[in-house]
Amino acid sequence: MRKWLAILIFCLGLGVVGYPAANNLVTEWRQEGVLTAYKSQLKTASASQLRALRRALQRQETLNKTQVKDPFKTRTERFVETTPLALVAIPSVDVELPVFEGTSEKVLQKYAGLVQGTDIPQGKQNQHSLITAHRGLTGNQLFTDLWRVEKGDRFYLKNAYGMMTYKVTSIRKVKANASRPIQRDATKNQVTLMTCTPYMVNSHRLLVTGHKIPNEVEKIPEGKLVWDWYKVMLLVLVGVLFIWGMWAGIRYNRQAKEDL
């Protein structure tokens, strides 16, 4: 009876600890599939195909003109998963996500979304794109570590207009009901990354803004692994459960031999 109880407790503990990691792995596979397909499309596209992709982005730019509203309270249902507007990469916190149009729940559960009323990334002056994603979702990193980004860090966008490098120049917090969270600058091309803050309270929005600078590298740098507390706790718990399971097995075998 004790043996089966020990096995049950071990399995339950492993399930509780392992579920977020397994869910995160599945979500990352889905994101990676979309990213790989999009990167391949950009890499293999001919000049005429790239021009067609740019025209499609320009048409969406026209449709996107509307009042900017908080995406976590006012969701847009428009969502075409097969065609991202761009990919966003933040190497300093190991983030790379497809960016889709709008902020429907279907988008924000798995990807980043471009807030309606802001500019589709084209790298032009007098444009300001607002890209948002959740933080703290079970089994999905998204923008969970955005708070770790510092001024001077680089992040990158890539689409039919090529790779664009942005240098972080501003990090600020605004209330969720802020009417104008971002503004254009006639002399700059800017992108702001946004998520909720504080964690689980979500009364404000964290805004990380960068302006476009000349590309310093030929391709997007590899992301740096971020050791969050929950990742460390996950490893510690898995280690504890493994050691406990080994100890319980050895103890059971010894007891079985003594009973012979």
Task: Say yes or no to pLDDT of 118 above 70.
Answer: yes
Contact of 67 with 76, CB cutoff 8 Å? no
- Marked catalytic residue, from 11, 196, 204, 211: 196
Q: What is the pLDDT of residue 218?
A: 94
**pLDDT in the model for residue 49:** 94
Does residue 128 have an active-site annotation?
A: no
Residue 134 designated active-site: yes
Which 8-state DSSP code applies to residue 179?
S
| Per-residue H/E/C for 134-153 | CCCECCECCCCCHHHCCCCC
Model pLDDT, residue 8: 59
**pLDDT tens, 144-202?**
999 999 999 999 999 999 999 999 999 999 998 887 889 999 999 999 999 999 988 88
Predicted TM-score (pTM) of the model is: 0.76
Strands (DSSP E) contained in the chain are 86-90, 95-101, 112-114, 127-132, 154-159, 162-175, 189-197, 204-213
Pick the CATH number of 1-226 from 3.40.50.970, 2.40.160.20, 3.40.50.620, 2.40.260.10: 2.40.260.10
Mean pLDDT of 41-46: 94
pLDDT (0 to 100) of residue 73:
60
> Would you place residue 250 in the very low, low, confident or very high pLDDT band (cuts 50, 70, 90)?
confident
Cα angle 13, 19, 24 (rounded to 5 degrees) comes to 150
